[in-house]
Amino acid sequence: MPITTCVFDAYGTLFDVAAAARQAAAEPGFEKLQQKWPELANHWRLKQLQYTWLRAITGAHADFWDVTQDGLDWALEASGLDGDAALRQRLLDLYWQLQAYPEVPQMLADLKAGGLQTAILSNGSLPMLDGAVQSAGIGDVLDDVLSVESVGVFKPHSSVYDLVQKRFGGERDDVLFVSSNGWDAAGASGYGFVTAWVNRANEPIDRLPWKPAHVLYDLTTISQLAGL
C-alpha cells in the first residue's frame, strides 16, 4: 500500500527537547547550568518518560505538563539545582517554545506539496503542542495535532495509535509513523504502522519485540520514504 499519511512524534522528533536546558545555560543568571545542562536535560527526559510509562501501567493518567514538571523537579534535585525558582520557571517557559530541528519546516512543506496528510501524535497536551507548533511556525503544513489527552493514557498504549485511523481513516500500513524515540517507533511497528526511527543520538537499537522499518539520522529523507 502507498503511504497516504505521515505522522510524527513531537518531543525529540520535531522539537529539540534538550533545547530548553541548553538555551537557559547560555542566559545571564543561569551560569551554573553551563556544566550541568546536558546531565539535567538527560535526567529530565528520562524521568518524564518513566513517569508516563508508570502512569500508563497503573491507570494513573495525568496531563503531560504535570509529568514534565515532575520530571524536571527530580532532575533539578539530582543535579543539585533545586531551590532556584527562577531557573525552574525559565526552563518550563522554554519548554513551550522548543526549537524545531532545522529540516522540519521544509520536510513538512514537501509532504503537503506531494499530497500527503500530515499530523503530530504526541504525549503532549494540546496547549503545549500548540505552543511548540506556533513557535516553530509549522501550523500551516500540519493537517492536525493529535494528543493522548483524548484517550487518557500515554504511549505506547495502542489506544493512542488508534487516534490516527480515527482521524484519517485508511489502513494501518498506509501510515508512515516517525519518532526519534526508539521505544515509540518499536511500539508503532508492533501496532502495524510503517515506521521510521530517527536515531539522532546514534544509540543502539532497542531490544523490543518489534523493529522499525527504517532507521534514519535526521528527517531529510522522509519524503522519499513516503514515496515522493
Nearest residue (CB) to a second copy, 101 versus 191: 191
155 neighbors 171 (Cβ within 8 angstroms)? no
What is the C-alpha separation between 210 and 188, in angstroms, rounded?
9
77 touching a second copy, by CB under 8 A:
yes
19 touching a second copy, by CB under 8 A:
no
Q: Which candidate in 9, 16, 174, 184 is catalytic?
A: 9
What is the C-alpha separation between 41 and 179, in angstroms, rounded?
19
9 tagged catalytic: yes
Interface of this chain with a second copy, residues 189 to 228, rule: CB under 8 A? 190, 203-209
H-state helical runs in 59-199: 64-78, 85-95, 104-113, 126-136, 158-168, 182-191
85 touching a second copy, by CB under 8 A:
no
Give the range of 68-76, 92-100, 142-150, 212-220 binding a second copy by CB under 8 A.
68-76
Q: How open is the CA angle 63-73-44, to the nearest 5 degrees? A: 80
**Owner of C-alpha cell 493529535:** 146
What is the C-alpha separation between 200 and 189, in angstroms, rounded?
19
Which of 52-58's residues contact partners 24+ apart within 8 Å by CB, and which partners? 52/123, 52/154, 52/155, 53/154, 55/154, 56/153, 56/154, 56/155, 56/157
Q: Which of 39, 63, 70, 130 binds a second copy (CB under 8 A)?
A: 70
Q: Which of 2, 28, 60, 86 binds a second copy (CB under 8 A)?
A: 60
Number of residues that bind a second copy (CB under 8 A): 33
158 touching a second copy, by CB under 8 A:
yes
Give the range of 2-10, 74-82, 114-122, 171-179 binding a second copy by CB under 8 A.
74-82
Q: What is the largest CA-CA distance in the chain?
A: 54
**Owner of C-alpha cell 500548540:** 130
Interface of this chain with a second copy, residues 31 to 50, rule: CB under 8 A? 46-47, 50
Nearest residue (CB) to a second copy, 31 versus 203: 203
Q: Report the interface residues with a second copy, using CB under 8 A.
A: 46-47, 50-51, 53-58, 60, 62, 70-71, 73-74, 77-78, 154, 156-158, 183, 186-187, 190, 203-209
- Which active-site residues does the annotation give? 9
